[in-house]
Amino acid sequence: MTLQNPLLFKQHCYIDGKWVNALNQKTHLVNNPYDQSELGHVPMCGAAEAKQAIEAAFNAQKSWKMLTALQRSTYLRCWADLIDKHKEDLAILMTLEQGKPITEARSEIEYANSFIKWFAEEARRVYGDVIPSNKPKQHLLVLKQPIGVVAAITPWNFPAAMITRKCAPALAVGCTIVIKPAEETPFSALALAALAEQAGIPAGVFNIVTGNPSDIGAEFTHNPLVRKFSFTGSTQVGKLLMQQCASTVKKVSLELGGNAPFIVFDDADLDLAVTGLMASKFRNTGQTCICANRIFVQEAVYDAFTQKLVSAVKKLRIGNGLDESVQQGPLINEAALEKVTNHVADAIANGAASVFGGKRHEAGKLFFTPTILTDMNMSMLIAREETFGPIAPLFRFKTEEEVIAMSNETNAGLASYFYSQDIHRIWRIAEALQYGMVGVNEGIISTEVAPFGGYKESGIGREGSRYGIEDYVEIKYLCMG
Ligand code: SIN
């Protein structure tokens, strides 16, 4: 591993400002998904270390919340400057442990840092209210106070951005945080902690505990000192964690699975739609919660759109993410590869045609060829489940009513996309889609300034933007007689 600053490669947890092993000294191995080579070991912690970190966060919060908003903002800004300075090392670490192309890893570091910069600014704008009283000689006020200790579990697909999107608003308002990163991608999280330490963020304010997900998750969700729990990951695990949080009635934020429709109407600019689809579908090799999962194309443009898409997909370069020209990396693990393989097999068994790809790729054990399937129907697995891989399934539709019904026929409601040039249609469709986010003639919608989150079983709460900070404060009403 050739890092300019090798000190960013940490193989210990960061608890209460100290780099520590698991109490039982156990570790777990992290491999590179590109070639399965060994990258390093991290502590295999459990409930005991999670409890220590929560207690450290609880103690640290007493003084962290007493700082002025400007002081907390300055700490965050200093951390962001260090992240900018070490961007290339952070991107290399990310590609090594996650597999995504280096160009995407660099963008993710910028995206991750945009949350720290944004919330460093928002820290200074957590305003309360004065309410006109309904009685003489009474004054009614609303204060916003930090909720307390936050515990968060973050996923492997965005090893840096999903951390900063949670910890930046938490720290900005005066909360402290304990994070468990995904077992597959702990090194990006630990490198961020190394830079937080360098930025002088006080001990106990930002903690990282690696290890056993169910033991750490149980401590996070049951410990009464934790007042807010935030999770990004699968809907199935999110439901379980939400149930666990009920025992101590924690405030919960969940960013769960999606099943995004991507609709191409017959009045769409087809070249623009292909560009948008390539960006949405193949970002991170199809492993994002907001990737287009079901592509609905109106019948008059179905064949033309398919042809244009095939020529774009053919050009994708597949291989080792560290190679600057590569656009598609490996899938994260065997389970991911198996899911993608099953989805393609199920579609073909039920009448779909594979017009490009459809099989594994010779670049390595965890690679799948970017694939285009046509003649899809709503009884297939892909119509119901998120594939989380580089498969573009094309469904044909006739009318607006039909495509709205098909798009909304899912328990998920995270992101959706459509392409049309008719302003009346744009409003009708944007309002009818039951999704938290809608891309209109746009395939990349994520930004720190807009609210990220879903309807239905895709989650609770919003991250990023001015709305994102609300999840980390309690509202206190003062009635002054
Ligand atoms: C996700 O897939 O969970 C996050 C994607 C994003 O923030 O753009």
Torsion angle of the four alpha carbons 452, 454, 460, 464, in this order, in degrees rounded to the nearest 10: 0
Beta pairing class for 260-264 and 251-255? unpaired
Mutate to test the pocket of ligand 1, among 289, 448, 463 (most ligand atoms within 8 A of CB): 289
With a 6 Å cutoff on the Cβ, whether 446 touches ligand 1 is yes
Find the mean pLDDT for residues 383-403: 98
The one catalytic residue in 97, 104, 122, 255 is: 255
% residues pLDDT > 90 (the chain): 100
Q: How far is the CA of 204 from the centre of ligand 1 (A)?
A: 27
Asked whether residue 462 carries a pLDDT value surpassing 90, the answer given is yes
Give the nearest ligand 1 atom to 289 CA. Answer: 2
Q: How far is the CA of 481 from the centre of ligand 1 (A)?
A: 48
Nearest to 229 by CA among 214, 215, 244, 208: 244
Q: What share of the chain is helix, strand, coil (3-state, %, to 5)?
A: 45, 25, 35
With a 6 Å cutoff on the Cβ, whether 290 touches ligand 1 is yes
Asked whether residue 417 carries a pLDDT value surpassing 90, the answer given is yes
Q: How far is the CA of 399 from the centre of ligand 1 (A)?
A: 30
Residue 260, token pair as written in the block: 């995004």
Residue closest by Cα to atom 6 of ligand 1: 446
- The rounded distance, in Å, linking the Cα atoms of 251 and 82 is 31
DSSP category for residue 200 = T
Nearest to 54 by CA among 251, 219, 232, 201: 219
The one catalytic residue in 78, 245, 289, 291 is: 289
pLDDT for residue 34? 98
Q: How far is the CA of 26 from the centre of ligand 1 (A)?
A: 32
Q: How far is the CA of 289 from the centre of ligand 1 (A)?
A: 6
pLDDT for residue 303? 98
Give the nearest ligand 1 atom to 165 CA. Answer: 7
Asked whether residue 1 carries a pLDDT value surpassing 90, the answer given is no
What type of residue sits at position 160?
A: A
Catalytic residue list contains 255 = yes
Residue 101, token pair as written in the block: 């192309």
Residue closest by Cα to atom 7 of ligand 1: 446
- The rounded distance, in Å, linking the Cα atoms of 20 and 33 is 26
Catalytic residue list contains 448 = no
Give the nearest ligand 1 atom to 452 CA. Answer: 7
What type of residue sits at position 428?
A: R
Asked whether residue 434 carries a pLDDT value surpassing 90, the answer given is yes
Q: How far is the CA of 109 from the centre of ligand 1 (A)?
A: 13
Residue closest by Cα to atom 5 of ligand 1: 288
With a 6 Å cutoff on the Cβ, whether 158 touches ligand 1 is yes
pLDDT band at 2 (very low <50, low <70, confident <90, very high): confident
Mutate to test the pocket of ligand 1, among 446, 447, 449, 465 (most ligand atoms within 8 A of CB): 446
Could you tell me if 472 and 170 are in contact, meaning their C-beta atoms sit under 8 angstroms apart?
Answer: yes
Give residue-wise pLDDT tens across range 245-303.
Answer: 999 999 999 999 999 999 999 999 999 999 999 999 999 999 999 999 999 999 999 99
Find the mean pLDDT for residues 369-395: 98
Distances 296 to 376, 387, 402, 445 between C-alpha atoms, Å: 9, 16, 10, 19
Give residue-wise pLDDT tens across range 135-157.
Answer: 999 999 999 999 999 999 999 99
Give residue-wise pLDDT tens across range 9-30.
Answer: 999 999 999 999 999 999 999 9
CA 274 and chain centroid, separation: 24
* Mean pLDDT across the chain: 98
With a 6 Å cutoff on the Cβ, whether 157 touches ligand 1 is yes
Give residue-wise pLDDT tens across range 28-78.
Answer: 999 999 999 999 999 999 999 999 999 999 999 999 999 999 999 999 999
Alpha helix positions (H), 131-234: 161-173, 186-198, 213-222
- The rounded distance, in Å, linking the Cα atoms of 90 and 96 is 10
Residue 15, token pair as written in the block: 């608890």
With a 6 Å cutoff on the Cβ, whether 232 touches ligand 1 is yes
Mutate to test the pocket of ligand 1, among 113, 162, 387 (most ligand atoms within 8 A of CB): 162
With a 6 Å cutoff on the Cβ, whether 289 touches ligand 1 is yes
Phi, psi of 15, deg, nearest 5: -125, 125
Find the mean pLDDT for residues 90-111: 98
Q: How far is the CA of 104 from the centre of ligand 1 (A)?
A: 13
**Is the CA virtual torsion 370, 372, 378, 381 positive or negative?**
negative
Give residue-wise pLDDT tens across range 338-366.
Answer: 999 999 999 999 999 999 999 999 999 99
Asked whether residue 86 carries a pLDDT value surpassing 80, the answer given is yes
pLDDT for residue 109? 99
Q: How far is the CA of 290 from the centre of ligand 1 (A)?
A: 6
- Report helix, strand or coil for 343: helix
Find the mean pLDDT for residues 85-108: 98
